[in-house]
Amino acid sequence: MTDPAASKASPSRPARVGESGLPIKPVYGPDDLAGWTPASRLGEPGSYPYTRGVYPTMYTGRPWTMRQYAGFGTAAESNRRYHQLIEAGTAGLSVAFDLPTQMGYDSDAPIAHGEVGKVGVAIDSIEDMRLLFDGIPLDQVSTSMTINAPAAVLLLLYQLVGEEHGVDPGRLSGTIQNDVLKEYIARGTYIYPPKASLRLVSDIFAYCQAELARFNTISISGYHMAEAGATPAQEIAFTLADGIEYVQAAIDAGLDVDEFAPRLSFFFVARTTLLEEVAKFRAARRIWAQVMRDRFGARNPKSQMLRFHTQTAGVQLTAQQPEVNLVRVAVQGLAAVLGGTQSLHTNAYDEAIALPSEKAARLALRTQQVLAYETDVTATVDPFAGSYAVEAMTDEVEQAARSLMETVEDLGGAVAAIEKGYQKAEIEQAAYQITRDIDGGERVVVGVNKFVVPDDERYEPLRVDPAIEEGQRDRLAALRANRDAAEVQARLAELRSAAEGPDNVLYPMKRALAARATVGEVCDALREVWGVYTPADAI
């Protein structure tokens, strides 16, 4: 008897096209894996090429780190939210900084007006960092900081506060994003030119190797490229190409690959297209393992492992019918887990409207807890292994990503391609196509272009008090009035001197911050020596 479902899914029907532009067949079978050898393509979980995951037991031993991204307004307000998240069961904190902090400006800088505390917490000095982590056991929590151009500054402030808490620096754990190359491609919060930025990244690698052995020195990010419109294949291709550039810069600076590579980590998005996302994560692990082993000669297995954090897709959240975002986030979180993520942030359903409310942030965490404790996806490692569809899609995404990476190499590497505008142009073209598909109805967005309801619901978003900016200005004025100004200037002079030569800038930077130099003053000292980056298309 013929199965009616099989008839409907006949191979003669037109294939649906996935996010990367690759066709998705109605039916997959053994022929789709012709020439496919499981031993070389898969391996065992926890072994090269890590297609099935970087650890042998994955979540069967313990679940991924449940990390919630938070930060808004003042350090004191953000500190209260962190305590709430810890009480709700989160195992890791993830700090969102406001735009002035991300750009290396103090809250009283003219350019910061109107942006203080808006998209994250305002951190101007060690005093703000003390408030941010007041009462937080820094030897027990892992802290991720979404900061790039001023990453070294915020990392050192965190270390100084940890030392004040009596925590040995070697016991501090977490991640700094520290991925400035993607800022030139997709996000824009860069400060210094690429060459100087890569020097700073290498200095951070060396400093953490000596001083902060448990800290992940970089989170090479495809998330922001995806938010800007990159396809899954573009996301991993351009991210891994950036990773190659960082590794080469560190090696050129005299570092041994097996000394710093185990502390590299990555950051990807999880979209609602679950199967393609799972394939993307598996393909990324396989590519990176081969690059590290064969191109850079890494012999430590930890150097070959692509460990990554995932955030659900903020760009796919909608302001229309925001409760539907709860479903989207659950599907996206499941894709990340089935893809083998090491840590996960699930977005709050109201983030398309404003900063997350306390209730929405708690529900986002509960989504992860349901996945971890109420489903059976943690009972076995890589449950999609051997799936005709997922294995074929993994191969196809891998091939598409490798083709893009070869183009980047042909252009001279990630930095040279950035300067030519290649990655940015490719992502913008993909974003344009997405917009056309949504506007034309070919891509369904529930509540936006299909299944629309009248806009008769009212939602009261969380708002940031504009008085926060005035308060930060007052705090800065008091700081500058009560510190040793001569010592601050002497320490900043030491930092400028190190930036002019070959010395690691993090050591004088730490002394300047301990003397209560501000984030803006430290970044200005480096601006004086290294200058600022102006993209070619802005000239």
- According to DSSP, the residues that pair with 311 across neighbouring strands are 269, 345
Give tens-digit pLDDT for 55-111.
Answer: 999 999 999 999 877 777 899 999 998 998 889 888 788 899 999 999 999 999 999
Strand runs labelled E in 47-149: 65-70, 92-96, 142-146
Residue 6: per-residue pLDDT = 40
Q: What is the pLDDT of residues 180-199, one digit of tens each?
A: 999 999 989 999 999 999 99
Closest CA to 217 of 314, 152, 153: 152
pLDDT tens digits along 470-518:
999 999 999 999 999 999 999 999 999 999 999 999 999 999 999 999 9
Q: Find the mean pLDDT for residues 10-23.
A: 72
pTM of structure = 0.90
Cis geometry, peptide bond prior to residue 49 (ω within 30 degrees of 0)? yes
d(CA 118, CA 127): 19
Of 528, 472, 535, residue with least CA distance to 498: 528
Confidence at residue 71, expressed as pLDDT on a 0 to 100 scale: 78
Nearest residue to 32 via CA among 389, 274, 398, 386: 389
d(CA 396, CA 527): 44
Residue 354 is predicted with a pLDDT of 80
Side-chain half-sphere of 465: how many Cα atoms within 13 Å?
Answer: 7
Output the average pLDDT for the chain: 92
Which residue bears the tokens 């659900």? 312
Q: Interior CA angle at 253 toward 514 and 525, to 5°?
A: 35
In a 3-state reduction of DSSP, which class is residue 426? helix
Read off the pLDDT band of 456 (50, 70, 90): low
Q: How far apart are CA 293 and CA 512, in angstroms?
A: 39
Q: Kindly state the average pLDDT of the residues 31-49.
A: 80
pLDDT of residue 465: 78
- Lookup: tokens for 329: 């986030």
Q: SS3 of 143, please?
A: strand
User: Is 50 exceeded by the pLDDT of residue 297?
Assistant: yes
Tell me, which fold does domain 33-439 have in CATH?
A: TIM Barrel (3.20.20)
User: Above 70 in pLDDT, residue 37?
Assistant: no
* pLDDT for position 454: 81
* Domain ranges for the chain: 33-439, 467-538
Lowest-pLDDT choice from 69-73, 112-116, 524-528: 69-73
CA gyration radius for the chain?
Answer: 23
Q: What is the pLDDT of residue 8?
A: 41
pLDDT digits (tens, 9 = 90+) for 392-401: 999 999 999 9
Only one residue has tokens 């003042």, namely 74
pLDDT tens digits for range 408-434: 999 999 999 999 999 999 999 999 999
Q: Which residue has the higher pLDDT, 150 or 7?
A: 150
* Selection from 453, 184, 402 nearest residue 291 by Cα: 402
CB 422 within 8 A of CB 411: yes
What's the burial of 340, exposed, middle or buried (CB within 10 Å: 0-12/13-18/19+)?
Answer: buried
Stretch 286-303: mean pLDDT: 98
* 38 has pLDDT over 90: no
Region 271-288 average pLDDT: 98
3-state secondary structure 286-322: HHHHHHHHHHCCCCCHHHHCCCEEEEECHHHCCCCCC
| 310-353 pLDDT per residue, tens | 999 999 999 999 999 999 999 999 999 999 999 999 999 998 98
From the list 116, 152, 144, 131, the residue with the least C-alpha distance to 78 is 131
> pLDDT at residue 143 above 90?
yes
Rounded CA separation 308/239 (Å): 12
